Amino acid sequence: MVQSVQRAARILRELSTSGPRLGVTELAARLGVSKPTVHALLRTLESEGLVRQEKGTSKYLLGPALLRLGNSYLATQELRSRSAGRADMLAEHTGETVWVAVLDGDRHILVVHHAFRRGGGVQILELGATVPWNTCALGKALVSFLPRERQEELLRGELARLTGKSVTDPDVLTEQLTRTRQTGYALEDQESVLGEAGIASPVFDHSGDPVGSIGVIGPVERILSEENRTRHAAAVRDAATLLSRELGAGRGVAWRVTD
């Protein structure tokens, strides 16, 4: 790997997850390199619009060019383009917010489509949001059908704790992944945000590989109520199955158990 490119990428990740404003000294400490090296990298990133320096503090933030890159990524994301209609119908049917997500390379899921729930009230667009895979139904649904080696790698890695209900025990997570493979859907109970829950199912492509997940997100008392839980789970699983078929997956591919 090219070290300077790797360091530049780490700067962008630090600003996106630890920022939003970090100075040269802070970044140098996080990367474990000298301040002159970090400064040179920041000046290069700034010239390309990938970071910007805040007036008054001299600290750095992410730059506007990243938004253009992000939009270009979304424009070429087949799952997002294919899922928009299904997600909107699922939101209409359940009355809940719907997210479609993919697994990024950093143990998180990335929201590539957000369908608002019907009704009033303030709703914030979460397109581009990232959530640790082990703290959400979308992540568990996707990881459940990954090859066993990849699952074990994710379970051995750092498991985030966002609330007191986040599951960080690999054995408990393994049981949840097994249950998801059996039922076709995963559950989240206040593991990312207190008071919120989720139900999600995996989406497969023409090769039978999981490429993402789709699910409903909302208040725990609605999502996991005795009245709604089974109904929402069936609706989510049906939406995932239909979306998988649109991507070329064969019938029943979602219910195979990975070895």
Residue with tokens 């996991």: 224
Q: What is the DSSP string of 211-238?
A: EEEEEEEEEHHHHTSTTTHHHHHHHHHH
Proportion of the chain above pLDDT 70, given as a percent: 89
Confidence band (pLDDT; 50, 70, 90) for 252? low
Give the pair of three-digit tokens for residue 64.
């506007």
97 touches 115 (CB < 8 A): yes
Dump pLDDT digits (tens) for 150-175. Answer: 999 999 988 999 999 999 999 999 99
Q: Is the pLDDT of residue 71 over 70?
A: no
Predicted pLDDT of residue 17: 72
What does the DSSP 8-state code read for residue 176? H
Q: Is the pLDDT of residue 69 over 80?
A: no
Q: What domains, with CATH codes, occur in the chain? A: 3-68 (1.10.10.10), 77-255 (3.30.450.40)
Predicted pLDDT of residue 11: 86
Predicted pLDDT of residue 55: 82
Predicted TM-score (pTM) of this structure: 0.76
Question: Out of 107-121, 173-187, 204-218, 236-250, which region has the weakest mean confidence (pLDDT)?
Answer: 107-121
Mean pLDDT for all residues in the chain: 87
Q: Is the pLDDT of residue 259 over 50?
A: no
223 touches 178 (CB < 8 A): no
Confidence band (pLDDT; 50, 70, 90) for 258? very low
Half-sphere exposure of 155 toward its Cβ, with a 13 Å CA cutoff?
A: 19
The mean pLDDT value for 68-93 works out to: 77
At how many degrees (to 10) do helices 24-31 and 35-47 cross? 110
Predicted pLDDT of residue 257: 40
